[in-house]
Amino acid sequence: MLWLCACATPAHADEGSRRLDPDVGARIDALMARYQGNVPGAALLVVRDGEPVVRRSYGLADVEAGRVATPASNFRLASVSKQFTAAAVLLLVEDGLVALDAPVERWLPELPAATDGVTVRHLLTHTSGLIDYEEVMPPGLDPDDLDDQLRDVDVLTLLQAQDRTYFAPGTAYRYSNSGYALLALIVERASGTRFEQFLRERIFDPLGMHGTQAYVKEGPEVLRRAYGYSERDGHWVRTDQSLTSAVLGDGGIYASIDDLARWDAALYDDRLLSDASRAMAFTAATPTDDANVAYGFGWRITGDSLWHSGESIGFRNVLVRYPGRRLTVVLLSNRNDPEPYETALQVAALFGAGQGER
- Nearest residue to 130 (alpha-carbon basis) of 100, 162, 103: 162
- Nearest residue to 111 (alpha-carbon basis) of 128, 88, 91: 128
57 counts as catalytic: no
| 208 CB-contact burial (10 Å; exposed 0-12 / middle 13-18 / buried 19+) | middle
Residue-wise over 148-164: b if at least 16 C-beta within 10 A, else e?
ebbbbebbbebbeebee
Domain for residue 331, yes or no? yes
Domain for residue 28, yes or no? no
Domain for residue 18, yes or no? no
Domain for residue 33, yes or no? no
Q: What is the CATH number of the domain that holds 314?
A: 3.40.710.10
What predicted TM-score, i.e. pTM, was given to this entire model? 0.94
Sheet order of strands, 213-214 included: 75-76, 253-255, 213-214
- Nearest residue to 320 (alpha-carbon basis) of 301, 295, 297, 294: 301
Domains: count for the chain: 1
Q: Tell me how crowded residue 216 is: count the other CB atoms within 10 A of its CB.
A: 15
- Nearest residue to 158 (alpha-carbon basis) of 142, 141, 174, 144: 141
Domain for residue 268, yes or no? yes
Name the active-site residue from 79, 128, 191, 309. 79
What H or E segment, with its residue span, contains residue 244? none
AA letter at 344: A
At residue 307, φ and ψ (nearest 5 deg) are -155, 165
Write out the residue range of the structural domain in which residue 187 sits.
Answer: 52-350
Say if CB 328 and CB 352 are below 8 A apart. no
pLDDT tens for each residue of the chain, 358 residues long? 333 333 334 566 564 555 788 999 999 999 999 999 999 999 999 999 999 999 999 999 999 999 999 999 999 999 999 999 999 999 999 999 999 999 999 999 999 999 999 999 999 999 999 999 999 998 877 666 667 889 999 999 999 999 999 999 999 999 999 999 999 999 999 999 999 999 999 999 999 999 999 999 888 999 999 999 999 999 999 999 998 999 999 999 999 999 999 999 999 999 999 999 999 999 999 999 999 999 999 999 999 999 999 999 999 999 999 999 999 999 999 999 999 999 999 999 999 986 544 4
Domain for residue 118, yes or no? yes
At residue 5, φ and ψ (nearest 5 deg) are -145, 135
Domain for residue 240, yes or no? yes
What H or E segment, with its residue span, contains residue 311? strand 305-312
